[in-house]
Amino acid sequence: MPWVQVRTCEASGVVVAIPRLPVGLSESEVTATLQTLIAGLLAQRKIERPVLWYYTPMMLLFTRGIEAAAVVYDMDELADVDGKLVPMPINRTTLNLLYGLDLHDDDAAEAWLASRAEPVEVVKTSEDVVVSAVGRELYETFFQGYTRKQWGLDPSELDKSVTARVPTRTNTDDRYFTDIFQAMPLEGYTRMFERMLDHENIRVETGLDYRDIVDGVSFDKLVYTGPIDEFFDHCYGPLPYRSLRFQHETLDRPWFQSVATVNSPAEATPYTRVTEYKHLTGQSHPMTSVTFEYPTSEGDPYYPIPRAENQALFKRYEKLAQARPDVIFSGRLATYRYYNMDQVVGQALATYRKMDRIQPVIATELPDIAASARS
Per-residue pLDDT of the chain (375 residues; tens, 9 = 90+): 899 999 888 888 888 888 999 988 887 888 889 999 998 999 998 998 888 776 665 566 777 778 877 766 666 789 999 999 999 999 999 999 999 999 999 999 999 999 999 999 999 999 999 999 999 999 999 999 999 999 999 999 999 989 888 889 999 988 887 777 777 677 778 999 999 999 998 888 888 888 888 888 888 888 999 999 999 999 999 999 999 999 999 999 999 998 889 999 999 999 999 999 888 777 778 999 999 999 999 999 999 999 999 999 999 999 999 999 999 999 999 999 988 888 888 888 888 888 755 444 444 444 433 333 334
d(CA 31, CA 11): 32
Q: How far is CA 275 from CA 95, 232, 371, in A?
A: 24, 36, 11
Predicted TM-score (pTM) of this structure:
0.74
- CATH superfamily to which 188-239+305-374 belongs: NAD(P)-binding Rossmann-like Domain (3.40.50.720)
Domains in the chain: boundaries: 3-75, 78-164, 188-239+305-374, 245-296
Give me the numbers of helices (H) and strands (E) for the chain, helices first please: 14, 13
d(CA 307, CA 241): 11
**Cα-to-chain-centroid distance, residue 272:** 12
Neighbours of 55 (CB within 10 A): 14
